[in-house]
Chains A and B, each alone.
Chain A
């Protein structure tokens, strides 16, 4: 059977019994539009070029296998003064959350925003996601727009004194969660957004971020440590003149992770940095970072820095693209994806891409796969550092360039400590 027919049938089967959640007029329109697009496009299939290295079966199938998040996830960023928005099994928990009143930010639960007939989120919900479908299909994100059951709408109107923290927790180990967040930063504003934990046994999370002129969004996301979770995330961003977006993701464990990052630089002199570290041990670890950054303005700067540490048949994937449109002169694009394979069974699959239609740009990309440097290891051991500790030290050194992408040093330090603990346990 031809692929389009296979996908059409699978999508039809998958959608049996699924209904768009009841909401107000604008949201119903956006969701119905998404459903129509999804039916036309079809859910992803392992024979799709964009899913060549990652089989989407666990992300699209009807079955959800239980996760071990209840046992593995531990609180993080406890010392940081912040406003916590807590989702339990994918449902906002107002009682467990902090009072969402914070100067410079307006926070609305997605279901409330969508119940209203008019809301500012109307201009973004599904809009950046739709824009992000060109030139590559991202059907899981469309499915999210159609069926998301909860989420948060964040309107940043100033420079709030502390970060917002979206914290995912579980009370059951078999939840299938679809969350959709919308973040709008007005011109000249700033926000640090933390996103932590395992939303569900399976989760599909979309974050749409509109970063207006001169605004800054910092996004730091240590994903849950559950081994059995399956998660697909999409971050769609639109970045204006002299605006900055920095996003960093840490993944330790996870049998299926697909993190897509899609940013359109539409204003001059904008900066977009996206970084990630993942560490995986065992054949049930599969982690995919898929990045697409479009430069459509002058003098833009983008960096993609991804590092992976893999062992025992773990698999890491990186698909990263820099698209420089005609007229986006003086673009400075940088992309590096590296993996450290701690044994011969692990694998790293990388597909770096540059597509450039402007003639005055500086773009570079590199991708490497390597083992621990034996010479350095012997040097450390000859000074009395035990092999395991020396390996951890060298591994953290390998990861340092990616961790440096986190602007807040205290946050970076905490993630580094977590990595050190993980490496010591998996030595």
Chain B
């Protein structure tokens, strides 16, 4: 377990993007939290959307006067194998999790609870992210503060026995947070619906210099004169990277010279990535215009440049908790072709900010349409950016977290007037 040092971005930096009133709102809402200890806990420091959000959110909370920290639990390979299986099962994949792995899951949480006890037992507010550290609440025992469990996974149709197992750790929380109403489950406490967010000022989303933007072409051997489609996501079967290759092949018959970049990395809590990557490489074969990239977790500027270089961005997931890469691309004025699942449906409004598709054929059709209609491509891209500005930036996310905690803190009354 480790306490993380995080980079500083100030609230004032966000004002030109979201407006002064949004910043004032955050400052006012934060008043009841001033000087209080607020702890986030998750299971990975790099890779994946949760770590990216916390890296930026925690410093903002500190700037608002909240004594916020971010703790990361440590685990064994068996622990992460178990939690990856949870992840798949909660997204509906049939899995068999040996009893041995469940015992390891519990033992790792027991050890982490022992190490984190001093920090968590007296904390005023605790936000536990995803199933990995969910049992900490029970193992900590006597706790003083308000604890919420944050589920970032599409748990709309979980494998029932796995959900029953996870539920036993979750139901004692004061409340839980899901990304979409459809993901909520029967639980004996308030279930808040809060979509995640992107940080417009992070290296992954900020405006790039001309030199940085051009680096995508030179570094990865792309031709700036030919159309480019990109999917950014870890190598995970639910992201359907092989389906993207199929769509590319169908579209390329009509769009000669089309290039495809699949870019992903690995998260430390995802042991399946290597196997999926091998499948993707096999599907790509020796096509020189399919670029299968594996980048280290800190390749934010490179990913930013690739998204900006793209004419169209895909996120053809078949299951998706939320899919932050969709908002990232939309923030860069890109129309997104997304799988018609989970949180993608909240971001991609069909025909307005992109297209929702249900098959490789559907993705190929929309690739062809967008590349043949550059004016509509630009119009959709503009709407996409404004949709993200209104709904999916970090400041909205932080405001809703504070609102949820205040609601629980004040007894779950539907309306609370702060003094």
Q: Do A and B come from one complex?
A: no
Interface residues of A (CB under 8 A from B): none
